[in-house]
Amino acid sequence: MTSLVIQTSFLGDLVLTTPLLAELALRGPVDVVVTPASAPLLANHPAVRDVIVFDKRGADRGLLGLWRFARSLRSRENGEPRTITAAYLAQGSVRSAVVALIAGIRERIGFDSSAGRLLYSRRVHYRADQHHAERLWRLAAGDAPNPLPETIRPRLYPGATERAEVDTLLRNVPRDGAPMLALAPGSIWGTKRWPHFAPFAAHIAPLFRIVVVGGKDDTTLATEIIRAAGTERVIDATGRLSLLASAELIARCAAIVTNDSAPQHLASAVGTPTLTIYGPTVPEFGFGPLAPRHATIGNSNLSCRPCHPHGPQVCPLAHWKCMRELETGHIEAALHELLRLQK
């Protein structure tokens, strides 16, 4: 049995799909359709045979590009035929369903809430009360008993290349015995960015070697943290590492403090203790941290939370109290409690 998983959503969604990949790998080869940006995350993954890049906003855009890409799924790069038993629509758009249909895959499985559900041969009930990693896992596992936490914890596998990237980044960092603490201040959603990372970093800098993780768009935030905490205490890794190398760096940290964004899922996938700061969203949406040690914090005194499934760019009520009123002392206390519990 060969399975095809189509997951072309955000980076974090792909990370949360890895328990599904592991479940399907117990039955046979697993090929995965991903975006160009997220494809490197699956390097070295033991559950994956082929990583297939679908450039839906570039070379494969439009009806002709979609048709050409879908037909290409019938053969592998080495020319061998790709006989797919079932497609799992982890990304539930109509476009993903059409890809599977054009590719001639008779069994197409996805959620009953997805936009492309009318093109599915089997629909799985979308459970809003489950973590999304479990929801995705149940596309294959069905009504199996409640899984163990380890079953639905995502996994990534940094290799020698990623370890070398991180070694190079840290080569000239002074060794003073302080543990490394990762901070992830960025998010593509404006209201998800806790605005107090810089003063928080300044306050905890005597206790930790601070590592700022994120993409190149987060460099300005890293600069603010460096200005507040001092260049001798902060390592700026924003935009300097591949995604999988960022996971490797996070794995070397004692913990991570992050917004509700992709780095929390990288941390879950490498087992790093995680403190996630929630503003307009809530962990009950099913996208919270899954590291063996984790905690979440948010302003529970606001009737306007949650206000959006992702987090709008600006506060709909113009006050943004959900993030502004989360003081550094609250985050520091939660971090120390998380670290105390892991001992």
Domains of the chain: 3-152 (3.40.50.2000), 164-341 (3.40.50.2000)
Confidence of residue 66 (pLDDT cuts 50, 70, 90): very high
Average of pLDDT values for 159-184?
93
Dist CA 206 CA 16 (whole Å)? 34
Mean of all residue pLDDT scores within the chain:
95
Confidence at residue 343, expressed as pLDDT on a 0 to 100 scale: 52
Indicate the pLDDT class of residue 163, thresholds 50, 70 and 90: very high
Please check the confidence at residue 131 and state whether its pLDDT lies above 70: yes
Q: For residue 305, give Cα distances in angstroms to 60, 261, 320.
A: 38, 17, 10
Nearest CA among 24, 64, 29 for reference residue 50: 29
| Cβ 3 vs Cβ 27: under 8 Å | yes
Closest CA to 329 of 137, 160, 196, 133: 196
pLDDT, position 48? 98
Longest dimension (CA), the chain: 60
pLDDT band at 93 (very low <50, low <70, confident <90, very high): very high
Sign of CA dihedral 148, 151, 154, 160: positive
pLDDT at 342: 60
Higher pLDDT, 233 or 247: 247
pTM for the predicted model, two decimal places:
0.95
- Model confidence at 341, pLDDT cuts 50, 70, 90, reads low
Mean pLDDT within 67-76:
95
Contact 28, 55 (CB under 8 A): no
Nearest C-alpha neighbor of 330 from the set 218, 200, 174, 140: 200
- Average pLDDT for residues 278-298, to the nearest whole number? 96
Share of the chain above pLDDT 70, in %: 99
50: number of Cβ within 10 Å? 17
Give the pLDDT score at 78: 87
Q: Write the CB contacts of 166 (distance below 8 Å, at least 6 apart in sequence).
A: 241, 245, 248, 249, 252
Mean pLDDT in residue range 190-198: 97
* Least confident residue range of 4-13, 88-97, 169-178, 229-238: 169-178
pLDDT band at 19 (very low <50, low <70, confident <90, very high): very high
The verdict on whether omega for the bond into residue 312 sits within 30 degrees of 0, i.e. cis, is no
Local confidence band at 231 (pLDDT 50, 70, 90 cut-offs): confident
